[in-house]
Structures are given as C-alpha cells and as structure tokens.
C-alpha cells in the first residue's frame, strides 16, 4: 500500500464511488473488504491512523464471550463462535487458539464452570477448537505455579482465540486494497454533501498536508465507532445520540508474573466484572475495566482509579502482587456500545454487544455496536443494506471464505540488510525491518503509527519504547525522505505518550 498512489485516486472529483466508508477501524475496514470483494468501487477514509480508535485497544480476543453466555445472550455467542471459526481458517497467521483456565475457589465452581463451558463448546459446533476440561487443584497449580492457591478448589480449561488487533486492521486494509479499494489514513471527513435532501458525497481534509477533497458517493457508510453521533449530526443536527461510551483499560506486566502460555479468566469479581490475564507478545496483559461517561476522544486516558483497580485485583490472584512500578505500560480504549433507552447511566458491562444499523432520511448508513470478533458479519449486513439503499449491482458476500492478507516483507528485508535483522530493542521481538516495512508497505506516516500499531512497542513497554524511538525515527525518516526537524518532532510526540 502506498499513500501517494491512494491519494491520486481521489484527486478527480468527477469520480462517483459506489461506497464511501468513514472510519478505518475493524468495522470500516471490514466493510471496505466486503464491498470491494463484491466488485463495488470502494473508498475508505480514516481521520487518524488505521485502527487508531478503539480497534487497536481491545483485549485482543476473538471469542464468543463467556460473559455474554452468563448473560444468556445465546444468539450473539453462537454468531461470535462461528466468526471465530472462520477467522481461524481465513487468518491463521494473525489469529491463534489460546487455552484459558478459570480458577475456582468454591467446591462446586469447577463443575459449574465446566458445565457452562461444555455449552460454549456445543455452541461452536463444527468450528470448535478443543473440548473444555475439568481441572483438579493440582492441575491448576501445575499450569500456573505463580497463581495464588489459598482456597483453590480446581478449575476449568477452555479454548478461545487471540490476535493482534492493529495488525489485523492493516491486514484488512491490504486485503481491501488487493480487491481494488482505495483506503486512506489521515483523511478526516468534515461535511456531507446533499442534493434534494439526499447525501451525494462528502468533503474531507488531508490531516498531513491540509488539502481538501470533494468526493461523490452513491452510498456513505458511517463506521466511526464512538464518533458515530458526530457524523450523524453532520447529516442531521437534531439526530439523537445512540452511543453509550464505556472505557476499558489494560495494564502490561512482565511475563514472569504468571510465567505460562495459558491465559486466566476470572468470570466474576466481587463487583461483577470479568478479568483476563493473558500472555501477549512476551508480556502479561491484565484487564479490563468498564467505566461509563468518559469523554469521547481518539487518545483516551486511563484513569488512576482504573489502574489501581487492576493492580489491586492482579494482586489478589498472583503470588507476587504487582505494584505501580511493575506496570510497564497502560492503554485505554472506549467501547462504542449502542445506548438502549432503559439502561442510560446503568452498568455498561450489561449492555448487549449486538450491532445495530441505522439508515437516516438522507440515506446515511450508520453501523454501531458489535465486537471485533463479529466485524465480518457486521460488514456483510452493512454492505447488504448499502446495496439495497443505493440500488447497487448486487453480488453475494464472499468474505466467509476470503483469506486475509499475509504480509511478507519483514523477513526478506531483514535477510537483505544485516542492520535490519537486528532487534529494535532487547525488550521487544521486533526487528528493525518491521519499522522500514511499516513505512514502505503499510502506510505508517508517523513514529506513533510504527511504534503503537505496526509494531506494538508502545502498548508493551513505555520506557523501552522511549529508548527505541530515536533509532525507529531515523529508519522511518530515511524511508519517507524526512529531515532532522521531523525526527525531533516525532520523538517529542512519542516522549509525551511514554510519560508514566
Ligand atoms: C477495552 C476494550 C476491550 C475490548 N476487547 C475486545 C475483545 O477482546 N474482543 C472483541 O471481539 N471485541 C473487543 N472490544 C470491542 C472492539 O474493540 C470494538 O467493538 C471495535 O474495535 C470497534 O471498531 P470500530 O471500527 O467500530 O471503531 P473504531 O476502531 O473506533 O474505528 C472508528 C474510526 O473512525 C474514525 N473516525 C471518526 N471520525 C472520523 C471522521 N470524521 N473522518 C474519518 N474518520 C473518522 C476514528 O478515528 C476511528 O479510527 C473491546 C473494546 C474495548 C474498548
């Protein structure tokens, strides 16, 4: 993918795109893949970097959702498990099965949870991974030598899947581009254009150059997650708000706090939350929270009480209780939940994760809610709606069996240039080639794009990222033809993000 070539495709304002998608997260890029694979002339515009919104800040699980099983939302769990099965098949390079253990502290809990997880297995049908198992106390201790075992009675082992969310978004962008879609980051939609009260296009500004583009479209899709209401209000300033934001944060600890390749799932804390401790890129990720009424922003800020909550709960389960100084990084994301009138102000953890499609009187198609796991199904429903609304030439949705792009540039680059074969920093698995590939092939425009989303350094360890930043900036500047002023600016910006 090359941004200059993509930009040249929107210079001709006489082109009429079949579908223009606003938002480059899981939902928007899922729609771009679907529309382009059906042969529709497709354009996607993202105001920041691809996945800079919620889609790079998830728990990184492709799952049915044990919490939703507990809540009795069987259709949603079944749909998610079906999507999990297809993703394991279509993107095996990005999605991998992961064993989870639910530790039990009351005598009946191992049986209770194993029974529940057998139902989970049944719901996944032929697309299941491996069967759930009842574990004795000794089995759990053997798998998790660093788990507190006072009062432990046993446990349940079950399977779900894990992925790297931001890498998946880049892979979706490249899959869409391979199907001839034009996908652009740093293009912000400022206004919608109408004729006879119907949307006919939009105006967008390049956030890097300041250039403005007028774009004609037969159908416009609003896939902007937590920002969906602001786009709905560009269409109709009286449009009611449908997003109920809910913030979730994760803390990253050294892997030695758990020392295992299994994940832990705590199904119910005393305040009714679900917590996960998950091995990820050689570290331990612990989360998440559910904090309502947070400001809607692209770079949400973790609250101190959320961090304290996770440290305190990690200490309840881990033999070595972590302290604030052990937290290597923290990241926050905001769930774009759909507001049901009756739960306004209530617990966001209980709001359904179903998706919701709305078509305005002027034809704006808004897709909100859902989960990362169900992005493909959400996209299928949205493009079906767009085809219907704009009377586009209909083709059946092909994405159930469509392979997701596999990037193959990092290794050859590392083999060709000895310098690029070196790791960026001893703390990370990434080689310097990953930074060059990010700039050359993955449309990374800033140092933050390369360190937060093409690699995940910033999410894993802030101090090490700060140490790696000058070298990463130098490699990117060489690739993008930038000068020392740009390098200094980028390092300053990363330093701000790396503040403890
Ligand atoms: C803490 C947390 C943990 C989660 N864990 C999981 C999990 O483990 N598994 C799972 O299945 N789901 C999980 N989810 C849910 C999942 O991450 C979200 O449902 C999904 O990422 C939403 O994607 P999206 O594309 O709708 O929104 P986003 O990723 O936010 O994308 C919307 C994009 O629109 C862009 N945009 C906004 N305005 C404009 C404009 N004017 N012009 C152009 N672009 C614009 C934004 O910049 C943004 O990038 C989690 C969510 C959170 C918060």
Q: What is the pLDDT of residues 225-278, one digit of tens each?
A: 999 999 999 999 999 999 999 999 999 999 999 988 999 999 888 788 899 999
User: Ligand 1: which of 58, 176, 291 to mutate, most ligand atoms within 8 Å of CB?
Assistant: 58
Q: Average of pLDDT values for 1-27?
A: 96
Whether omega before 419 lies within 30 degrees of 0, making that bond cis, reads no
**How much distance in Å is there from the Cα of 62 to the middle of ligand 1?**
14
Which of 294, 367, 379, 368 has its CA nearest to residue 338? 368
Q: How many CB atoms lie within 10 A of CB 303?
A: 15
Separation of alpha carbons 401 and 417, rounded Å: 36
Q: Average of pLDDT values for 17-23?
A: 98
The residue whose C-alpha atom lies closest to atom 14 belonging to ligand 1 is 58
Q: How many CB atoms lie within 10 A of CB 81?
A: 26
The residue whose C-alpha atom lies closest to atom 49 belonging to ligand 1 is 53
**How much distance in Å is there from the Cα of 177 to the middle of ligand 1?**
20
Q: How many CB atoms lie within 10 A of CB 214?
A: 13
User: Ligand 1: which of 21, 30, 55, 246 to mutate, most ligand atoms within 8 Å of CB?
Assistant: 55
Separation of alpha carbons 90 and 400, rounded Å: 8
**How much distance in Å is there from the Cα of 223 to the middle of ligand 1?**
9
pLDDT of the residue at 394: 75
Distance of CA 88 to the CA centre of its chain: 16
pLDDT of the residue at 175: 98
CB-based contact 169:50 (threshold 8 Å) = yes
Greatest CA separation for the chain:
71
- Output DSSP code: residue 298: S
pLDDT category at 66 given cuts 50, 70, 90 is confident
pLDDT category at 341 given cuts 50, 70, 90 is low
409 pLDDT above the threshold of 80:
yes
CB-based contact 161:263 (threshold 8 Å) = no
pLDDT category at 69 given cuts 50, 70, 90 is confident
The secondary element (H helix, E strand) that includes residue 22 is strand 16-22
Separation of alpha carbons 415 and 410, rounded Å: 9
User: Ligand 1: which of 45, 207, 224 to mutate, most ligand atoms within 8 Å of CB?
Assistant: 224
Question: Of ligand 1's atoms, which has the minimum distance to the CA of residue 226?
Answer: 30
pLDDT of the residue at 343: 42
Q: What is the pLDDT of residues 278-317, one digit of tens each?
A: 999 999 999 999 999 999 999 999 999 999 999 999 999 9
pLDDT category at 351 given cuts 50, 70, 90 is low
Separation of alpha carbons 55 and 49, rounded Å: 11
**How much distance in Å is there from the Cα of 336 to the middle of ligand 1?**
7
Rg (CA), the chain: 23
**Average pLDDT along the chain:** 94
Q: Which of 55-59, 71-75, 300-304 has the lowest mean pLDDT?
A: 71-75
How does strand 329-338 pair with strand 355-359? unpaired
Q: Average of pLDDT values for 360-381?
A: 96
pTM over 0.85? The answer is: yes
Sign of CA dihedral 427, 432, 434, 439: positive
Q: Which residues pair with 159 in a beta bridge?
A: 99
Q: Average of pLDDT values for 105-128?
A: 93
Ligand 1 surroundings by CB, under 6 angstroms: 22-28, 45-48, 52-55, 57-61, 188-189, 223-227, 248, 288, 298, 333-336, 370-373
**How much distance in Å is there from the Cα of 60 to the middle of ligand 1?**
12
Question: Of ligand 1's atoms, which has the minimum distance to the CA of residue 50?
Answer: 49
Q: How many CB atoms lie within 10 A of CB 463?
A: 13
Which of 158, 151, 71, 161 has its CA nearest to residue 115? 158
Apex CA 46: angle with CA 45 and CA 49, to 5°? 140
Separation of alpha carbons 424 and 415, rounded Å: 15
**How much distance in Å is there from the Cα of 423 to the middle of ligand 1?**
30
Question: Residue 125 corresponds to which tokens in the numbers above?
Answer: 């049908």
pLDDT category at 72 given cuts 50, 70, 90 is confident
The single residue listed with the structure tokens 């704009």 is 390
Orientation of helix 74-90 relative to helix 109-124, angle to 10°: 60
Which of 164, 169, 140, 165 has its CA nearest to residue 152? 140
Q: What is the pLDDT of residues 417-443, one digit of tens each?
A: 889 999 999 999 999 999 999 999 999
The secondary element (H helix, E strand) that includes residue 253 is strand 243-254
345 pLDDT above the threshold of 60:
no
Question: Strands, E, within 76-208: which ranges?
Answer: 95-104, 133-136, 154-163, 182-184, 187-195, 198-206
pLDDT of the residue at 499: 76
The secondary element (H helix, E strand) that includes residue 80 is helix 74-90
Q: Which of 12-16, 215-219, 486-490 has the lowest mean pLDDT?
A: 12-16
Classified as helix, coil or strand, 352 is: coil
Separation of alpha carbons 5 and 19, rounded Å: 19
Percent of the chain exceeding pLDDT 90 equals 87
SS3 content of the chain, % helix, strand, coil (to 5): 40, 25, 35
């Amino acid at each position: 993918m090359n941004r200059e070539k993509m930009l040249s495709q929107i210079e001709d304002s006489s082109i009429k795109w079949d579908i223009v998608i606003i938002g480059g997260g899981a939902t928007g890029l899922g729609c771009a893949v679907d529309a382009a694979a059906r042969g529709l002339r497709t354009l996607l515009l993202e105001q920041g970097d691809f996945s800079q919104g919620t889609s790079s800040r998830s728990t990184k699980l492709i799952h049915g959702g044990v919490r939703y099983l507990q809540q009795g939302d069987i259709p949603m769990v079944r749909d998610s498990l079906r999507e999990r099965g297809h993703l394991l098949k279509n993107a095996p390079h990005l999605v991998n099965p992961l064993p989870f253990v639910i530790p039990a502290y009351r005598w009946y809990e191992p049986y209770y949870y194993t029974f529940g997880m057998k139902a989970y297995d049944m719901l996944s049908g032929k697309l299941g991974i491996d069967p759930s198992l009842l574990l004795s106390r000794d089995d759990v201790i053997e798998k998790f030598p660093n788990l507190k075992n006072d009062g432990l009675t046993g446990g349940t082992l079950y399977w779900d899947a894990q992925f790297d969310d931001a890498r998946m978004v880049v892979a979706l962008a490249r899959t869409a581009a391979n199907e001839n879609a034009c996908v652009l980051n740093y293009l912000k939609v400022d206004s919608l254009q109408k004729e006879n009260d119907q949307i006919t296009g939009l105006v967008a500004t390049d956030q890097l150059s300041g250039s403005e583009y007028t774009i004609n479209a037969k159908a416009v899709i609003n896939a902007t997650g937590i920002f969906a209401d602001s786009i709905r209000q560009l269409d109709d300033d009286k449009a009611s708000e449908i997003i109920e934001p809910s913030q979730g944060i994760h803390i990253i600890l050294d892997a030695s706090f758990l020392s295992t390749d299994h994940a832990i799932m705590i199904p119910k804390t005393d305040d009714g939350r679900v917590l996960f401790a998950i091995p990820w890129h050689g570290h331990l990720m612990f989360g998440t929270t559910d904090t309502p009424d947070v400001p809607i922003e692209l770079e949400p800020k973790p609250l101190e009480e959320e961090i304290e909550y996770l440290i305190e709960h990690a200490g309840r389960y881990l033999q070595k209780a972590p302290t604030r100084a052990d937290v290597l990084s923290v990241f926050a994301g905001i769930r774009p939940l759909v507001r049901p009138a009756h739960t306004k102000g209530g617990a966001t953890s209980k709001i359904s994760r179903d998706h919701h499609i709305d078509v305005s009187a002027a034809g704006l198609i808004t897709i909100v809610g859902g989960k990362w796991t169900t992005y493909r199904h959400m996209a299928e429903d949205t493009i079906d709606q767009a085809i219907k609304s704009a009377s586009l030439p209909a083709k059946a949705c092909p994405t159930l069996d469509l392979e997701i792009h596999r990037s193959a540039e990092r290794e050859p680059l590392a083999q060709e240039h000895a310098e690029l074969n070196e790791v960026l920093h001893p703390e990370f698995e990434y080689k310097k080639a990953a930074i060059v590939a990010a700039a050359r092939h993955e449309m990374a425009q800033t140092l933050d794009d390369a360190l937060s989303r093409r690699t995940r350094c910033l999410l894993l360890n802030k101090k090490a990222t700060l140490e790696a930043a000058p070298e990463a900036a130098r490699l990117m500047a060489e690739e993008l033809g930038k000068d020392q002023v740009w390098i200094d600016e980028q390092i300053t910006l990363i330093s701000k993000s790396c503040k403890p």
